[in-house]
Structure 1
Amino acid sequence: MPDRRTVIAGLGVGAVAAAGGTAWHLRDPAMPGALGGADMARGHALRDGGFPPPSIEEQAGIVIAGGGVAGLSAGWALAEAGFDDFTLLELEDATGGNARAGRNATSAFPLGAHYLPVPNREAKALRALLTRLGMVVGEKNGAPLYDPYQLCADLQERLFYQGRWQEGLIPRRGLSETDEADLAAFAAAMAAFSARIGQDGRPAFAIPMAYSSRDADLLALDAISFAIWLDRQGWHSPVLRGHVRYCMRDDYGCEADQVSAWAGIHYFAGRRGWAADDAGDNELTWPEGNARLTTALSARIGKRIAPARIVHRVARDGGGVVVDSFDVARNATVRTRARAAIIAVPHFIAARIAPEAAPQAHGFGYAPWIVANVTVDRLPAGRGAKLAWDNVSWTSESLGYVVATHQGPAARAAGSVLTWYLPLSRMAPAAARRLMVERPLHDWQAMVRDDLLAMHPDLEGAIRAIHIWRWGHAMIRPVPNFLWTTAPAAAAAAQAPFFLAHSDLSGLSLFEEAHYRGQLAAEGAMAHLGHAFASML
């Protein structure tokens, strides 16, 4: 078997739900667990076509194609505005997109997205959602007051560096003068970008990103890679570069030389969480991750969700649209006639099923990820800082793990589920997706196990199960010239009665962006149909 570093360097998509089982040891030939992911059979059926002609017909005012965060947010916005004549069609058996979750006897756990930073002041629609969900409980001194039980508990982050755990994710021991100088200069530059207001009165870097300044010198940052921008500043500290690499892989699934400088700076300068009691730099998180949010969105529109429906054609039909979807349960194609369609699927799929709305998908690329959920009999130990919610090793190719039971009373339990993340950023995405299909479960498990034991030798004999979840198209890759050239052109191509809604139109795979795109599409569709509503944007 290749060594751990070689194996991990060639990986790319992660783990699933952990089930119960007995403890296994290093020499055990088989580990309890499962290999899961997005439904490849349905995805390939959509790619290959050959669906039967429609034999069932339905009517709806608006059809939403796709039940990820953007589609669910569109449905929520319609329902909140009193527009009830819509249906949401989802290929999978459950909604949620990459914010889905699993559960076992120990805990719920995320299969993908696992937190939401406290929103910026400009994210008005998202803050309204969080208020409706009871997560914003009032205000204090004019700022929103968050339910403390929704916020990440201490300790939030720690780093395994030079044999010890330290608080925070930037190394603070054994640094050279160059390291110290580059880290300080970088922090000052990011603080200046964060505070900057453009000539148009907008924040230089905002969330949602549509509220960002259009100053020419800022937009020009999208034309070069973040690595080139760092080179031009003369910052070559391996500590700074190592931290930047972690951050780019964490939010974008990409290396620093693969993302634009605008995207790279946005990671550090875009978040200015607005909250009372100094909670602005915190995250909202739950054992199941962002499935807490998508479950609430789904519940609001539940009766209008039609799962296991493979939308394979969206076309203009007179003044309205026609949507053909294959109903897996009925083994039949259903034709839905509607007045408008919200297409809330990744753009490469939208271009396939709705070429009138999305005539091309050139330049859209997606990062593959592996997520592993590891059930353990005891919490990890280690020298230095105490166990945190997010735990990262400086020398690992993985992004470390989050502790599903970190929040609330469950944090005192002996056992837990560790959700481990690995973007396959060293491989070409197509090659990584092939690896996901070809690599057997046991090899993935061995890789995850070895990585955890390198951080925590004390976990030997304490791992009960490792479940792997594969995300072949986990998130959009914000490569140079994508954010302010490719993505805006694609978004502008759709005209009523078609409305595109997906975070890849922002170029940033963030809950905030998907929610914004869903809200924007819903408001556009309601305006097209003449339905009165109060804009949240």
Structure 2
Amino acid sequence: MKADRRAVLGIGAGVVAATGAGIAYGFRGQPLPAGELSGADMARGHRLRDGGFPAPTRQDAVDLVIAGGGVAGLSAAWRLKDAGFDRFRLLELEDAVGGNARNGRNAVSAYPLGAHYLPVANREAGALRHMLRQFGMITGDRDGVPVYDPEQLCADLQERLFWQGRWQEGLIPRTGLSSHDKADLTAFETAMRDFSARVGGDGKPAFALPTAYSSRDDDLRALDRLSFAAWLDQRGWRSPVLRGHVRYAMRDDYGTEPGEVSAWAGIHYFASRRGWAADGAGGNELTWPEGNGRLVAAMSARFRDRIAAGHIVHKVTRDGDRLAIDSYDAGAKTTLRTTARAAILAMPHFIAARVAPEIGSAKAHSYAPWLVANVTVDRLPEGPGVPLAWDNVSTTSNSLGYVVATHQGPNAIAPASVLTWYLPLSDMPPAAARRLLVERPAEDWKRIVRDDLLAMHPDMDDAIRRIDLWRWGHAMIRPTPGFLARADTDRPAPPLYLAHSDLSGLSLFEEAHYQGVRAAEAAMTQLGHAHESLL
């Protein structure tokens, strides 16, 4: 998801050639560099799947438990603290909070392990703007419109595309287009503009962010019954440039091919962003060397003493009007039973359904696996055409290209940098992709990453010093057709609440934040804690 995402000409998103050209192989030169292979803790995840935890040997009590320390769980905890409620504990399976917004760091720079930016918030995203003001990312107002800190907005050059042997500014080809390409691109752009401007019969935007504020008009909801590719087919838009553009966009945000993305979700990608900001910043995004790890750190710093990492929540049951939450302490190798007046399960649906079977089956949900590589280089890439950008995409690659971790901040002019490279394994069934992610040796993955970068920058063969790999087996929920209907089901009764972007069907920071705030406010209401809603 990029700043110029909302249409194709002028405000469109990225493009990869519709042929889906594979990653280049066969470069010879320097030996493979050093680097670590890591990722979400599979051993703990599989322990949760397989069960067999010991019976509780310790007990305690707290008013509210948050199970899960991804963005939704952190947002719930942030909202509680913001409202003056601190009688809670956050339990996280991993040793660090943040979910797919976590980050790493080496001697050269901090870098993201997953999510790497946050677009300027829509007007309807009031809770998110409230938080961004607290963190100094929104610094004031001009004529009632938010002013963002320019140091934290993405600096120029924001995006470039390798197209026909040269780097061009922006992520849409500007040269060598046929009349058919131009016509389809223009028609698509017009349709997305119309969707973006439309207000439903219920007075809500047709496509809002968070999605909870979107119109529920029947004809809009009906878009969820077919795929985005099928919707394009119905309109006769078959330009390979447009189809490549759409493929990039769907893989970029959803890790999923257009033929498997709901048409509603596909249109939402282009029609929902209406960033509300002064000084023409509405189409920009907030980004930092560590990506959304900056937001994770800012939230968690406010309640660090309430976080218990390394705790695998594996069972939630009702005990009268209270809840019993069993969590396995991976360090002590014992199970703790916490009695709570309320609990928020801030975890993917497939995990929540295992922890609390009353939630219902997760079989209808599927998740996209990704590989992320952080490549440490001695010097910045160049190439013919426009200079290096924050986001760099090649039409000859099946990857999503790379972002430059040092594009922002005091190290922007340093020669060494970290390039964060992304590959959604979207061209095979998710289960098969997860097996490949695990079974393919690290050296083979490093070779793929290196050769893909060298296909864009042959002169960098002697400049790559490390390739650190991060595997995400269940990086994000896939918004396949019917996801809107699925999102309306399987909500447990209070005092048990769910909070995860899965509830929206779109793995976006804005959605996770909204769901965390919603659950926190519902829990505070149930517990009798006075607060003014931000939603």
Is the structural similarity TM-score above 0.5? yes
Q: What are the equivalent positions in structure 2 for 1:428-507 lying under 5 Å apart?
A: 428-482=429-483, 484-490=484-490, 493-507=491-505
Is the contact made by 1:26 and 1:461 (CA closer than 8 Å) also made in structure 2? no
Which residue of structure 2 aligns with residue 219 of structure 1?
A: 221
> In structure 2, what residue type is equivalent to 1:354?
A
Structure 1 CA distance for aligned equivalents of residues 254 and 343 of structure 2: 29
Structure 1 residue identity aligned to 2:144:
G
Aligned residue in 1 for 2:310: 308
Q: Specify the code of the residue in structure 2 equivalent to 1:488.
A: D
The corresponding residue for 2:520 is 522
Aligned ranges 1:40-59 → 2 under 5 Å:
40-59=42-61
| Equivalent residues in 2 for 1:332-481, closer than 5 Å | 332-356=334-358, 358-481=359-482
Structure-2-length-normalised TM-score: 0.95
| 1:291 is the counterpart of 2:293 | yes
Give me the CA root mean square deviation: 1.3
Give the C-alpha shift of residue 318 in structure 1.
0.8
* Consecutive unaligned residues in structure 2, runs of 5 or more: 1-19
- Please report how far the alpha carbon of residue 434 of structure 1 lies from its aligned counterpart in structure 2 after TM superposition: 0.6
Letter in 2 for 1:99: A
Deviations 1:226-262 (A, max 9, x none): 0000011111100000001000000000010010100
SS of 2:422's equivalent? strand
- Match for 2:85 among 74, 83, 86? 83
**Alpha-carbon distance between aligned partners in 1 of 2:44 and 2:212, rounded to the nearest angstrom:** 33
| Shift in Å, 1:414 | 0.4
In the alignment, is the contact (CA less than 8 A) between 1:67 and 1:95 conserved in 2? Answer: yes
Alpha-carbon separation, structure 2, partners of 1:144 and 1:475: 30
Contact 2:313 2:327 in 1 (8 A): yes
Q: Distance in 1 between matches of 2:22 and 2:280?
A: 42
Query: How far 1:317 sits from its partner (Å)?
Result: 1.1
Matches of 2:48 and 2:31, distance apart in 1: 37
Question: How big is the shift at 1:408?
Answer: 2.5
Residues 344-392 of structure 1 show CA distances to partners (whole Å, capped at 9, x for unaligned) of 0000000000112x12213110000000000000000111111100000
Q: What residue number does 1:271 align with?
A: 273
Asked if the contact 2:72/2:513 (under 8 Å) is kept, the reply is yes
Number of corresponding residues:
515
Give the CA deviation at 1:489.
Answer: 1.1
- Contact kept? 2:24, 2:455, Cα under 8 Å: no
Helix, strand or coil at the partner of 2:517:
helix
Q: Residue 459 and residue 30 in structure 1: after superposition, are their counterparts in 2 closer, same or farther (change >3 A)?
A: closer
- Does structure 2 conserve the Cα–Cα contact (< 8 Å) formed by 1:31 and 1:442? no
Specify the SS of the correspondent of 1:338: strand
| Cα separation, partners in 2 of 1:413 and 1:29, compared to 1, 3 Å | closer
Write the deviation string for residues 299-324 of structure 1: whole angstroms up to 9, x where unpaired: 11100000000000011111010000
Distance 1:296 1:273 in 2: 22
* Identity in percent: 69
**AA aligned opposite 1:448:** V
Paired residue secondary structure (1:184) = helix
User: What is the match of residue 530 of structure 2?
Assistant: 532
- Is the 1:37–1:470 contact (alpha carbons within 8 Å) kept by the matching residues of 2? yes
- The equivalences for 1:108-257 within 5 A come to 108-257=110-259
CA–CA separation in structure 1 for the residues paired with 2:171 and 2:31: 35
AA in 2 matched with 1:260: S
* Aligned-partner residue type, residue 367 of structure 1: A
Pair 1:70 & 2:68 matched: no
Displacement after TM superposition at 1:31 (Å)? 2.1
- Between the aligned partners of 1:127 and 1:28, the Cα distance in structure 2 is 47
SS in 2 for 1:489: coil
For the 8 Å contact 2:371–2:423, the answer to whether it is kept is: yes
TM-score, normalised to structure 1, is 0.95
The one-letter code of the counterpart of 1:170 is I
Separation (CA, whole Å) in 1 of partners of 2:465 and 2:489: 49
Gaps of 5+ in 1: 11-24
Shift of 1:26: 4.6
Counterpart of 2:389, as a letter, is A
Distance 1:130 1:373 in 2: 27
**Structure 1 residue 409 displacement after superposition:** 2.5
Following superposition, the deviation at residue 33 of structure 1 comes to: 0.1
Deviates further, 408-417 or 298-307: 408-417
Listed as ranges, the matches of 1:14-53 within 5 Å are 26-53=28-55
1:9–1:426: 8 Å Cα contact kept in structure 2?
A: no
- Name the CA distance, whole Å, in 2 between partners of 1:422 and 1:486: 27
Cα distance, 1:411 vs structure 2: 1.1
**Distance apart, 1:28 and its partner CA:** 4.8
